[in-house]
Chain A
Amino acid sequence: MIASTAPPRAAAKPAFAIDFVLIGAIGLAAAGHLLIKYGLNSAASQPPAAAVAGVWGYLTNPGVIGGLLVYGVGTLLWIVSVSKRDISYLYPVTALNYVLIAVCGKFLFGEEISLGRWLGIAIVILGVGMMRGSTGERKQ
Chain B
Amino acid sequence: MNPHLALWLSIGLGGIAQIALKSGVGAAIGVPQPTNLTWWLQLAKSFPVWLYVACFASATGLWLIAISKLNISYAFPLLSSNFVLVAVLARFILGEVVSVRRWASIFVICVGIIVLATS
Residues of A within 8 A of B (CB): 21, 36, 40, 44, 48, 51, 54-55, 58, 64, 75-77, 79-80, 82-84, 86-89, 91-92, 95, 98-99, 102, 114-117, 119-128, 130-131, 133-134, 136, 139
Contact of B102 among A83, A89, A114 (CB under 8 A): A89
Q: What distance in Å separates the Cβ of B35 from its nearest Cβ neighbour in chain A?
A: 10
B64 and A128 within 8 A (CB): no
User: How does the 8 Å CB contact mask read for B44-66 relative to A, with 1 for contact and 0 for none?
Assistant: 00000100000010000100110
Beta-carbon contact of B109 and A88 below 8 Å: no
Docked complex Cα distance between A104 and B68 (Å): 21
**What chain A residues lie within 8 Å of B116 (beta carbons)?**
98-99, 102, 117, 120-121, 123-124
Which residue in chain B gives the minimum CB-CB distance to A71?
B60
Q: Is B78 an interface residue (CB 8 A)?
A: no
Annotate B100-112 by CB proximity to A: 1 below 8 A, 0 otherwise: 0110111111111
Decide: A134 near B99, CB < 8 A? Known: A92-B109, A123-B112.
yes
Given contacts A54-B68, A92-B87, contact A86 B108 (CB under 8 A): no
Q: Decide: A131 near B1, CB < 8 A? Known: A95-B113, A98-B113.
A: no
- In the bound complex, do residue A88 and residue B96 qualify as a contact, i.e. CB atoms below 8 Å apart? yes
What CA separation (Å) do A96 and B90 show in the bound complex? 20
- Distance, CA A40 to CA B22, complexed state (A): 31
Shortest C-beta distance, B13 to chain A (Å), equals 14
A87 to B17 Cα, complex, angstroms:
11
Q: Determine how close the nearest CB of chain B comes to the CB of A111; give it in whole angstroms.
A: 11
Residues of chain B with a CB closer than 8 A to A131's CB: 102, 105, 109
Partner of A87, one of B19, B67, B99: B19
Digitize B78-119: 1 where CB-to-A-CB distance is under 8 Å, 0 elsewhere: 001011001100110010111101101111111111111111
